[in-house]
């Protein structure tokens, strides 16, 4: 039998009231710390570059880029939350019940807003490719700003309802000192899975399937030089940049789904809706890792992002009238 001295506690001075640390080999713990810290730092840095780029350069103030800005803001905060996730590697939380609750609450809001932004991006691409004549008049910066604000407000309201039990009494579900767990009741858990996963994913997949069909049709028409009058008009309005943006954002959405699905699959197949941050570390970190991949995708597909990185890193962004630089 293990003696008390051999057992590593989160708070040794509390003895029986303290949680027990998760035992791992030292090298494994160190490796996990290094990887998570590096990914977290990279996520914060890259998304900060996206936020500065789109916010600073006036030429990048387009409806689609405003949606990317919203996504970058949520990804930035997710990168920050990964620092907190590092604390839970050994199963111990040292910042108290209130901070634990705030961490969970804000993390839920940010991830929910991220999913909502993905839906808005799908709608934006659907209108841009399928109804190009209406896009310039109907999809304006003001309307996109309103939609983004509503997305974040709805996320706050929805997650406040989902986590109301936790918010009313922080730490009520903790069984010992040093634990940071959250328990969602069955109805709230079902609602969260439906509105944060099933419904958004359905909308995203259906819209992008339609976008894909139209994009393929237009590409074939361009190659064969055979098109109806209505399609010819559509092709004149639908610029190559629109189709390129559609392809890029399609990659973003596919990667997002690949990182998101494991988390909700665990939720759907679990015995209950209780989620321990330590036991769910892998799926949570995979979910968070998506936030690091988005800016990398932009760097591969968007020349304006690569150009803006050079201007920011070389501090040329500080020059007068740098905001008017030609980025496209």
Residue 270, pLDDT above cutoff 70 = no
Residue 287, pLDDT above cutoff 80 = no
Residue 215 neighbours by CB under 8 Å, 6+ apart: 129, 243, 246, 247
Which span out of 64-68, 190-194, 222-226 was modeled with the highest average pLDDT? Answer: 64-68
Residue 152, pLDDT above cutoff 90 = yes
Residue 273, pLDDT above cutoff 50 = no
Residue 7 neighbours by CB under 8 Å, 6+ apart: 20
Contact 287, 111 (CB under 8 A): yes
User: Hey, what are 102's tokens?
Assistant: 């705030």
Per the rule left: phi > 0, alpha: psi between -120 and 50, beta: everything else, 225 is left
Q: HEC string of 265-302?
A: HHHHHCCCCEEECCCCHHHHHHHHHHHHHHHHHHHHHC
Residue 36, pLDDT above cutoff 80 = yes
Cα distances from 47 to residues 28, 56, 176, 269, in angstroms, run: 28, 14, 36, 33
Cα distances from 295 to residues 71, 88, 252, 300, in angstroms, run: 10, 26, 9, 9
DSSP one-letter code for 313: H
pLDDT tens, 112-139?
A: 999 899 899 889 988 888 888 888 888 8
pLDDT tens, 39-91?
A: 889 999 999 999 999 999 999 999 989 999 999 999 999 889 888 877 777 77
Contact 218, 238 (CB under 8 A): yes
More confident residue, 189 or 293: 293
What distance in Å separates the CA atoms of residue 294 and residue 120, rounded to the nearest whole number? 16
Q: Averaged over 163-178, what is the pLDDT?
A: 81
**What pLDDT shows up at residue 219?**
62
What distance in Å separates the CA atoms of residue 276 and residue 181, rounded to the nearest whole number? 5
Per the rule left: phi > 0, alpha: psi between -120 and 50, beta: everything else, 91 is left
Domains, the chain, in order of start with CATH, read 33-44+56-324 (1.20.1070.10)
* Averaged pLDDT score across all residues of the chain: 80
**What pLDDT shows up at residue 221?**
65
Task: Supply the pTM of this predicted model.
Answer: 0.83
Residue 315 neighbours by CB under 8 Å, 6+ apart: none
User: Hey, what are 78's tokens?
Assistant: 């997710």
Residue 278, pLDDT above cutoff 50 = no
pLDDT bucket at 274, cuts 50 / 70 / 90: very low
Contact 130, 210 (CB under 8 A): yes
What distance in Å separates the CA atoms of residue 76 and residue 78, rounded to the nearest whole number? 5
Residue 189 neighbours by CB under 8 Å, 6+ apart: 267, 273
Residue with tokens 């995979």: 286
């Amino acid at each position: 039998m293990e003696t008390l001295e051999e057992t590593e506690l989160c708070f040794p001075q509390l003895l029986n009231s303290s949680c027990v640390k998760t035992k791992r080999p030292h090298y494994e713990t160190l490796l996990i710390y290094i990887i998570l810290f590096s990914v977290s730092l990279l996520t914060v840095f890259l998304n900060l570059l996206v936020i500065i780029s789109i916010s600073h350069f006036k030429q990048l103030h387009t409806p689609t880029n405003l949606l990317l800005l919203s996504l970058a803001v949520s990804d930035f905060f997710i990168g920050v939350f990964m620092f907190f996730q590092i604390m839970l590697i050994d199963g111990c939380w040292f910042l108290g019940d209130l901070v634990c609750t705030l961490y969970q609450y804000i993390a839920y809001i940010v991830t929910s807003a991220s999913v909502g932004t993905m839906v808005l991006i799908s709608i934006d691409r659907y209108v841009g490719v399928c109804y190009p004549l209406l896009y310039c008049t109907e999809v304006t910066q003001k309307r996109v700003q309103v939609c983004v604000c509503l997305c974040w407000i709805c996320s706050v309201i929805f997650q406040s309802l989902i986590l109301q039990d936790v918010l009313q009494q922080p730490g009520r579900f903790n069984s010992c000192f040093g634990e940071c767990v959250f328990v969602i009741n069955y109805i709230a858990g079902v609602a969260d899975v439906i509105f944060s996963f099933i419904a958004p994913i359905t909308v995203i997949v259906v819209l992008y399937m339609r976008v894909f069909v139209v994009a393929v049709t237009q590409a074939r028409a361009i190659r064969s030089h055979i098109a109806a009058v209505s399609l010819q008009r559509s092709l004149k309005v639908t610029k190559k940049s629109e189709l390129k943006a559609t392809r890029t954002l399609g990659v973003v959405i596919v990667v997002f789904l690949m990182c998101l699905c494991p988390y909700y699959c665990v939720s759907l197949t679990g015995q209950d809706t209780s989620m321990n941050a330590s036991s769910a570390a892998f799926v949570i970190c995979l979910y968070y890792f998506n936030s690091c991949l988005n800016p990398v995708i932009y760097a591969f597909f968007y020349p304006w992002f690569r150009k803006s990185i050079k201007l920011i890193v070389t501090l040329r962004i500080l020059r007068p009238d740098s905001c008017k630089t030609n980025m496209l």
